[in-house]
Amino acid sequence: MSESRFRGTDRYVATDDLMMAVNAAVTLGRPLLVKGEPGTGKTQLAEEVALALNRPFLQWHIKSTTKAQQGLYEYDAVSRLRDSQLGDARVHDIGNYIVKGKLWEAFTTEIQPVLLIDEIDKADIEFPNDLLHELDRMEFFVYETRQVVKARHRPIIIITSNNEKELPDAFLRRCFFHYIRFPDKETMERIVNVHYPNLKKRLLSEALEAFFEIRDVPGLKKRPSTSELLDWIKLLVAEDIPPEALRGDQRKLIPPLYGALLKNEQDVHLFERLLFMSRRKKD
């Protein structure tokens, strides 16, 4: 029997409020919309929920050109055209050319799955509205084959957004919502720990110190997030950087390998300039 409540996993740290949002969505069978800064674990969440609750995992990644219909099915007319010109007998059954979309798959898996609709805000503004009907009714109609596809169970749907666009109210009303706040030091320590359980305590605390300090630099275009921190720590370990090197008089030293944290050229300049200025003040 699978666990019925989500509490995070040994690879993913979930805060209390996130657990509540997930469990409410699972219990009531409504979608969960997750927002938050880039790199705060939005995408990974759905996979971990699937893992923890022991469900199949389906991922629908949204691009600017994605249409809601593609989540249901697509009619592959090109193949049919080719087959007809080659005289293939399959051509007579239009059903052979209906390609199932992710929502269709999610409706028909044997066990209730977790479906991730990733970066929904990338699509056209109307996209979420176009899905409302199917999400409400949990069924849709395939015109080509005159068939109704009904959900065997309500899939657990987790939707992420990076806030590129506002989502329609009608859509929001049907979802639970959770905003992943940027992890505080304590939570971040736990997150790093699940990724690098054997990291030396000193290195971890110095790295976090330096990391949060960089995040506090005013005026950065792109503040480093969890994923940058993890990358950086990986490099620090690989290069065998000692904890002391992260320290010194922090404002006087550029942390080693900081290119992993600041990826935007302007930010690097800004950071170097600030360091330069503070150094001059102290000398």
Ligand X SMILES: Nc1ncnc2c1ncn2[C@@H]1O[C@H](COP(=O)(O)OP(=O)(O)OP(=O)(O)O)[C@@H](O)[C@H]1O
- Closest CB to ligand X belongs to which residue? 41
Using rule CB under 8 A, residue 169 touches other proteins: yes
- Options 139, 166, 213, 244; binder of other proteins; rule CB under 8 A: 166
Instruction: List the single partner that 20 binds among Mg ion, other proteins, ligand X, none, CB under 5 to 8 Å by kind.
Output: other proteins
Note whether 85 binds other proteins by CB under 8 A: yes
Distance in Å, CB of 43 to Mg ion, minimum? 3
Q: Based on CB atoms, which residue is closest to ligand X, 111 or 194? A: 194
Three-class SS string for the chain? CCCCCCCCECCECCCHHHHHHHHHHHHHCCCEEEEECCCCCHHHHHHHHHHHHCCCEEEEECCCCCCHHHHHEEECHHHHHHHHHHCCHHHHCHHHHEEECHHHHHHHCCCCCEEEEECHHHCCCCHHHHHHHHHHHCEEEECCCCEEEECCCCCEEEEEECCCCCCCHHHHHCCEEEEECCCCHHHHHHHHHHHCCCCCHHHHHHHHHHHHHHHCCCCCCCCCCHHHHHHHHHHHHHCCCCHHHHCCCHHHCCCCCHHHCCCCHHHHHHHHHHHHHHHHHHC
145 binds ligand X (CB under 6 A): no
Q: How many CB atoms lie within 10 A of CB 64?
A: 10
Q: How far is the CB of 216 from other proteins (least distance, A)?
A: 13
Note whether 207 binds ligand X by CB under 6 A. no
Stretch that binds other proteins, among 74-82, 204-212, 245-253, 260-268 (CB under 8 A): 74-82
Q: Which of 177, 196, 212, 258 binds other proteins (CB under 8 A)?
A: 177
Per partner kind, with CB cut-offs from 5 to 8 A, the member of Mg ion, other proteins, ligand X, none near residue 166 is: other proteins
Given other proteins, ligand X, Mg ion, none, residue 227, with its beta carbon under 5 to 8 Å by kind, binds ligand X
Nearer of residues 80 and 102 to other proteins, judged by Cβ: 80
Q: Which of residues 103-132 bind other proteins (CB under 8 A)?
A: 124-125
Positions that interact with ligand X (CB under 6 A): 12-13, 36, 38-44, 162, 191, 194, 226-227, 230
